[in-house]
Amino acid sequence: MVSDFLELGLSTEILNAVAELGFEKPTPVQGTVIPKLLVEDGDIVCLAQTGTGKTAAFGLPALEYLDRTNPRTQILILCPTRELCRQISQDLTNYSKYLDGIRIVSVYGGANITGQMKDLKRGAHIIVATPGRLLDLMKREAADISDIRTLILDEADEMLNMGFKDELDAILAQAPEQRRSLLFSATLPKEVEEIARSYMKNPEVVTVGQRNAGSDNVEHYYYMVKEEDRYSALKRIADFNPDIYAIVFCKTREETQKIADALQKDGYDADALHGDLSQAQRDHVMERFKRHALHMLVATDVAARGIDVSDLTHVINYNLPQEIELYTHRSGRTGRADKKGVSIAIINQRERGKIRRIEAVIKKQFTRLPVPGAREICERQLVHLINGINNVDVRDDIYSFMPVINELWDGISREDLVKKILSYEFNRFFDYYRKAKDLNIPEKEKKDRRKSSVRDSEDAASGDNTAVKGRKANDGNPGDCEKGYVWLRLNMGYKNRVIPRDIISIMKACGIGKKAVGKIEIFNEFLYVALKESVADYAKSQLNGATYDRRRLSASLLR
Ligand code: ADP
Ligand code: MG
């Protein structure tokens, strides 16, 4: 891996543009991929987490080998969303600031197609496209990819998640044989491997950082509240962080809109981003968010995928995603390019298992935080306000008004004046929080739960193991497992309240499907799970050292 831009073999024009963007050294993915693309031939599959600088990793070399004297389309970049199309084109425009005459055209659905046809007609060295729209433009003979030398699939996993398989097949089938293909993806699900197998020539697989691992700069927290308090908890988090600049992820478009509306009604600078909005609405929302006129962007996963907004203070999981992988993508929006990030999940009492499953995948632990109370929030807000007042720059214009001001405030003590000013700003807050209850799940209920779990284990100790299938009361050795399977032993058990469903999820998170999982035997301190021979070693390597329920896992095979 090369760790200095000067040693990568890039031209001065590009180096100057990169320096102006403030990039000091190549990120690991850039240091690995750029030299390969510049001096070697051959296809590449590159797996890297979000926020690792993949755009420049493919964008800079692509610009280097572009022939500006040839007006035909030479580079095709496919990506899943319109926002990402625009972002990639913008990035490429920035990188090519000192290269004259390069035409980059981005085409995506939801926007007027005739405008895009005109753009293409004027010439496009590089097309950045979403698959559906490109195919449409190819059918209308407005886009011609018959001469492309380089094909780049960005966020390939997400393109497939979004159901672009057929479009990709159709496009790839028409791309010329003589080309170089690059595929970038955060994860490598089966479908992506299949694309690589069918359309790429012996690709070299480059993995930068650990597969599926969460970004290292991100800290993970959760707040546990009753289901009905989810929205109030979100408001408290926002109030407790007066400088909040966050993406709030919701499950559905409906929920996204509902939460954004509620936040607006409650006086927050928030808006929604989801697929039901028109292109113009989405642009407007993004534009406001990027210039910080909005402090909270309430979004669906699809709409927010790949969006690069630097300086996010928080990523908030208003609801945890159905698929654990999505959590990685969400939290990857914060902590970009060496900055610290905070990812928060609001969960109800029943969702703690989900947190554990995510911990097992991202190999990092969550910290539970108490939902801030009225007093703490008011204090934070006051400090924020006073700091704001202290730091304000006092303009000369105010002096001419001083006589009036002095007259109106004549005879009021400094202390009274301070109280009045702060109350003026703050009474609304105080009113709201005076009635505010404690959203934390009260100790009493927790105790009750603990009591009932003690009862459960007493039942178990007395040999009653009918409640959970596969549960064994006393520690011991497992029986025989199915033929072709081996026992994998894990250092957690009934004591940790693991149930078979958790084990299936853990396996799934490591990329092992239900079909490869056989019998499960859970003892008090540890458990055995039968795995197909073919996946057993892989499972062991994935699980050893991972974290689940705050404990380091140790896995061994009983062969
Ligand atoms: P990815 O596609 O891997 O998610 P991006 O290409 O969107 O990541 O880059 C993430 C952020 O990092 C962007 O804001 C980008 O400008 C910034 N960035 C990229 N390369 C560097 C670098 N070498 N030094 C500093 N910042 C960088
Ligand atoms: Mg990207």
Residue nearest ligand 1's atom 25 by CA: 23
Q: Tell me, what's the pLDDT at 445?
A: 44
Q: Tell me, what's the pLDDT at 309?
A: 79
**Is the minimum distance from the CB of 59 to ligand 1 under 6 angstroms?**
no
Residue nearest ligand 1's atom 1 by CA: 51
**Is the minimum distance from the CB of 329 to ligand 1 under 6 angstroms?**
no
Ligand 1 atom closest to Cα of residue 155: 2
Ligand 1 atom closest to Cα of residue 52: 3
**Is the minimum distance from the CB of 23 to ligand 1 under 6 angstroms?**
yes
**Is the minimum distance from the CB of 460 to ligand 1 under 6 angstroms?**
no
Q: Which of 336, 338, 339 to mutate to test the pocket of ligand 1 (most atoms within 8 A of CB)?
A: 336
CA 217 centroid distance within chain: 13
Helix (H, G, I), strand (E, B) or coil at 372: coil
Q: What is the whole-number distance in angstroms between the Cα of residue 129 and the centre of ligand 1?
A: 20
CA 336 centroid distance within chain: 10
**Cβ atoms within 10 Å of 110's Cβ, excluding its own:** 16
- Cα distances from 418 to residues 53, 430, 433, in angstroms, run 48, 16, 21
Q: What is the pTM for the complete model shown?
A: 0.53
In whole angstroms, give the CA distance from residue 504 to residue 395: 64
* Residue 206, φ and ψ in degrees, nearest 5: -110, 120
Which domains does the chain show, CATH number per domain? 5-207 (3.40.50.300), 218-373 (3.40.50.300), 375-434 (no CATH), 464-558 (3.30.70.330)
Pairing of the two strands 180-185 and 44-48: parallel
**Is the minimum distance from the CB of 336 to ligand 1 under 6 angstroms?**
yes
Q: Tell me, what's the pLDDT at 551?
A: 74
Looking at the DSSP bridge assignments, the partners of residue 151 are: 76, 181
Q: What is the whole-number distance in angstroms between the Cα of residue 56 and the centre of ligand 1?
A: 7
226-236: b or e for each residue (b if 16 or more CB lie within 10 Å)? eeebbbbbbbb
* Residues by chain with Cβ below 5 Å of ion ligand 2: 54
Residue nearest ligand 1's atom 10 by CA: 51
The bound ligand whose nearest atom lies closest to the alpha carbon of 2 is 1
Q: Categorise residue 557: left if φ over 0, alpha if ψ from -120 to 50, beta otherwise.
A: beta
**Is the minimum distance from the CB of 468 to ligand 1 under 6 angstroms?**
no
Residue nearest ligand 1's atom 9 by CA: 53
Question: Which residues of the chain fall below pLDDT 50?
Answer: 210-214, 443-470
Helix (H, G, I), strand (E, B) or coil at 444: helix
The bound ligand whose nearest atom lies closest to the alpha carbon of 81 is 2
- Could you tell me if 52 and 208 are in contact, meaning their C-beta atoms sit under 8 angstroms apart? yes
Among candidate residues 372, 366, 355, the one with its CA nearest the CA of residue 320: 355
Ligand 1 atom closest to Cα of residue 27: 23
Q: Tell me, what's the pLDDT at 539?
A: 82
Q: What is the whole-number distance in angstroms between the Cα of residue 26 and the centre of ligand 2?
A: 15
Q: Categorise residue 378: left if φ over 0, alpha if ψ from -120 to 50, beta otherwise.
A: alpha
In whole angstroms, give the CA distance from residue 271 to residue 260: 5
Listed in sequence order, the residues at least 6 apart from 435 whose beta carbon sits closer than 8 Å to its beta carbon are none
pLDDT in tens, 164-220: 999 999 999 999 999 999 999 988 888 899 999 988 999 999 888 643 334 567 889
- Could you tell me if 219 and 367 are in contact, meaning their C-beta atoms sit under 8 angstroms apart? yes
**Is the minimum distance from the CB of 158 to ligand 1 under 6 angstroms?**
no
| 532-540: long-range contacts, CB 8 A cutoff, minimum separation 24 | 532/484, 532/485, 533/484, 533/485, 533/486, 536/486, 536/488, 538/510, 538/511, 538/512, 539/488, 539/507, 539/510, 539/512, 540/488
Ligand 1 atom closest to Cα of residue 25: 23
**CA 32-88-47 angle, 5° bins:** 35
In whole angstroms, give the CA distance from residue 305 to residue 299: 10
Element (H, E) at 94: helix 82-95
Ligand 1 atom closest to Cα of residue 54: 3
